[in-house]
Amino acid sequence: MRVLIVFGHPNPKSFNNAVLESFSRGLKDGGHSFEISNLYTQDFNPSFRDVDFLQFQGKPMPADVQAEQKKLANADALVIIGPVLGWFIPAILEGWLQRIMSWGFAWTADKDGMHGHLKHEKGLYIFTTGNPEEFYESTGLGAAMSKILHSTLTEAGIKSVETVFLYQVSAVDDATRQQYLDRVYRLGKGF
């Protein structure tokens, strides 16, 4: 399977980077090929600008959007890795979703509703959090985030979408962090 990994963390020494490396190693050991879009090193602009509205007039999207759409079109699956900041994902990842999953490329709409155009088998979100699992369950935040994120991909046509949270990474012990890395390795290998 060809996998596009979209990575959204600015620190190359972060635990998120270790997650990216472990998942990528799992993909490779599982016989999959992959490409990484590191949004920070690419200096990706997450802002939805005037030129992004050209999609609704049937005109070409900006070059940075077209480059990412080409990567996504060449993949069989999409994986997004990053942290939860505050109450949601970083603006750079949300902006990537808003700009790349554009009308005419990922979806269209008519009197019968939305129609997804992507034919990808899988979508996977892997997010690290600062809060414990109980916080996301008791507030309903985890379920709400998952529902919004799943809809973003399934409405675009991706068949199967999963969200994995790695909870409270800054406070857990090294053994738990290693368990997280082992888990994402297995997710990659079994992808």
Which pLDDT tens digits describe the chain residue by residue (191 residues)? 999 999 999 999 999 999 999 999 999 999 999 999 999 999 999 999 999 988 888 888 999 999 999 999 999 999 999 999 988 999 999 999 999 999 999 999 999 998 999 999 999 999 999 999 999 999 999 999 999 999 999 999 999 999 999 999 999 999 999 999 999 999 999 99
Give CA separation, 178 vs 85, 129, 175, 190, in Å.
22, 15, 5, 18
Residues 6+ apart with CB under 8 A from 128: 15, 16, 19, 82, 83, 84, 165, 166, 169
- pLDDT at residue 59 in the model: 86
Digit-coded pLDDT (tens) for 6-21: 999 999 999 999 999 9
- pLDDT at residue 54 in the model: 85
Rounded distance between C-alpha atoms, residue 134 and residue 87, angstroms: 15
- pLDDT at residue 177 in the model: 97
Rounded distance between C-alpha atoms, residue 129 and residue 136, angstroms: 10
Tokens 């973003």 -> residue: 152
Task: Name the pTM for this structure.
Answer: 0.96
At residue 62, the 3 state secondary structure works out as coil
- pLDDT at residue 87 in the model: 84
- pLDDT at residue 58 in the model: 82
- pLDDT at residue 37 in the model: 98
Neighbours of 86 (CB within 10 A): 8
Q: Which strands make up the sheet holding 33-38, listed edge to edge?
A: 33-38, 2-7, 77-83, 122-128, 160-166
The number of domains in the chain is 1
> 138: domain CATH number?
3.40.50.360
**109 near 147, Cβ under 8 Å?**
no
Give CA separation, 57 vs 52, 89, 163, in Å.
10, 29, 34
Phi, psi of 140 (to 5 degrees): 80, 0
- pLDDT at residue 56 in the model: 84
Q: Which domain holds residue 150?
A: 2-189
- pLDDT at residue 160 in the model: 97
Digit-coded pLDDT (tens) for 49-61: 999 988 888 888 9
